[in-house]
A and B are shown apart, each in its own frame.
Chain A
Amino acid sequence: MTPLLPGSAQGRVLKLPSLSLWGGVDPFSGKLTDPALPHCGESVKDRVLMIGEPVGSSSSSAVLLELLHAGNAPAAIVLGRADAIVALGVLVAREMGWATIPLLVMAPSEQEGSADGETMKIE
């Protein structure tokens, strides 16, 4: 596991094979909105959001910034590969002086070692 943006966090793992934050998460509530997702309707707030393959829209950074600003953000995000779009949301929050979260990279094969719902601690 490689930290992209360091920090400490703890939360229950919310595991998704792939996700675009834009189109997949409601920026105002933090709830997963895509009916095709196994966890549709659940909130990402305070979870360790583990995404195998980050996909899709360039607006995902805006969704993450809004979640951070409104206090609906995950406790941490773990990505299957480095993704600048997701990282931007955290970087801008830091520049604006708002709360931030750790961002980590963990290969999809490595993610198999973490079960959905289990508590994960990041230091």
Chain B
Amino acid sequence: MVQLTSAERETVDGRDGPARAMALRIVADTARLLGAAKLVPIASAHIDGCLYHGDSGTLFAERLVADGGAVAVPTTLNVGALDLLHAGRVRLAPERAAMARRMMDAYLRLGCRPTWTCAPYQAGHRPALGQHVAWGESNAVAFCNTVLGARSERYGDFLDICAALSGRAPEFGLHLDDNRRATLEVDATALDPRLVAEDAFWPVLGAWLGETEGGRIVAFTGLPRRIDEDRLKAMGAAAASTGSVGLFHIVGVTPEDPKLAPGHESIRLTGAMLHAARDRLSTARAHAGDAVDAVAVGSPHFSYDEFRRLFAHLKGRKLAIPFYVCTGRHTLAALAEAGLSETLKTSGLTVVADTCIVVTPILPASDGLLLTNSGKFAHYTRPNTGYDVLYGSLADCAETAIAGRLVRDEMIWR
């Protein structure tokens, strides 16, 4: 039975208005059915519920606005269903686009920041080690817990905004010390260091984690002591989309002590396990030279550093097929500040801002074959767009887009 404080009971009784009362009621109901003992005050929120999945979500957000709702903590917004910076990029039917816009507007009127990104942690939203927060969007939750060491359970749409409005979350799951402790050591020392040095390794490691050990808290050992943040982001996103992964530890890298108990269970990763995971990220068989219809990167949203890397791969060469790069407006602003707007403009890349290709119709509506370097895109492209998907490295994506045919460096997987 969940215990509310006297202040929380007053909020539920309407002291702070009907929107905050409804929000706290939903948080408390969720806490009750999860078996949480109490609620925990939160420092910030990230809202995934601003993506249009039908009119119901718009009506809910507008109810909160009509009832006088306002966020109680700093709150960022995940992607919406529209690209507000590039008119015509999204092919949503006009009536759905209008409802999606109404929904986005309602969240802004509740006081959320218009970040529109699934990588809020690269848009200045970085809670401190040990801080309790309520975040939606599975990759953001994984990053928040794993890389920042802040504490969020994997919240569903609507609980995120209810937590933001009430400033409370159920004290459950990853908010609690015991549930953050690793119960399985995954030893990576046997892996070929040349593979581990590749960007393309990390989403595959994440996909392996999500598929095979998605229900457990894992501590990786034997990985490099310094791992680029974009690699951790890509790994977490793959793990969180292929399984219910909200936290993992990498000994020597992530900030929290995994607290492995003596005599803990341990497994040793082999190249073969990862090759199998890599193969599962593609829904079609293809060979070098086969036609590819499009390339897409940026799930989670492409960062400034990733753009720099992509520019370096492209070297100003002309693209033969559409190359979608999904990103946040914070990254476009950083590119502009660095004087790279012209480079971006002449690159031939199709920039998708505020949203991405698997959450709203952007790809031409035909079957096709898409190459991506994202484990999350690899997981969702087939069901959400109808395109078959191939997984490859960022270099593979660049070379394939230039050739218009599949170019994939298989050597890194030997």
Of A9-17, A83-91, A113-121, the one with at least 4 CB within 8 A of chain B: A83-91
Contact of B155 among A4, A55, A58, A98 (CB under 8 A): A58
Question: What is the interface residue range for chain A against chain B?
Answer: 35 or more
Q: Which residues of B contact A66 (CB under 8 A)?
A: 53-57
Residue of B49, B170, B379 ringed by the most chain A CB atoms within 10 A: B49
Mark contacts of A59-73 with chain B using CB atoms, 8 A cut-off: 1 yes-contact digit, 0 otherwise. 111110110111000
B159 touches A84 (CB 8 A): yes
A28 touches B54 (CB 8 A): yes
Mark contacts of A98-122 with chain B using CB atoms, 8 A cut-off: 1 yes-contact digit, 0 otherwise. 1000000000000000000000000
CB distance from A115 to the nearest CB of B (A): 25
A58 touches B157 (CB 8 A): yes
Count A-B pairs with CB separation below 8 Å: 129
Complex-state Cα separation, A70 to B26, whole angstroms: 21
Contact of B56 among A53, A65, A84 (CB under 8 A): A65
Q: Which residues of A contact B76 (CB under 8 A)?
A: none
Residue A123, interface by CB 8 Å: no
Complex-state Cα separation, A56 to B242, whole angstroms: 6
Residue of B30, B56, B160 ringed by the most chain A CB atoms within 10 A: B56
Complex-state Cα separation, A122 to B51, whole angstroms: 33
Which chain B residue lies CB-closest to A96?
Answer: B60
Residue of B54, B157, B160 ringed by the most chain A CB atoms within 10 A: B157
A88 touches B244 (CB 8 A): no
Give B residues with C-beta under 8 Å from A.
22, 25-26, 29-30, 33-35, 48-49, 51, 53-57, 59-60, 63, 136-138, 141, 153-160, 170, 172, 214-215, 240-244, 379-380, 382-384
Seed contacts A34-B383, A55-B242, A58-B136; 19 additional CB < 8 Å A-B pairs: A23-B379, A23-B384, A56-B244, A58-B156, A58-B160, A59-B48, A59-B53, A61-B158, A62-B51, A62-B54, A65-B53, A69-B56, A70-B56, A84-B30, A84-B34, A84-B159, A87-B33, A95-B26, A98-B56
Ranked 4 nearest A-B pairs via Cβ: A66-B54, A85-B156, A61-B156, A69-B56
What are 15 A-to-B residue pairs whose CB atoms are below 8 Å? Answer: A23-B379, A27-B54, A34-B382, A54-B244, A56-B240, A56-B242, A58-B156, A59-B51, A62-B49, A62-B156, A65-B57, A65-B60, A66-B55, A66-B57, A91-B26
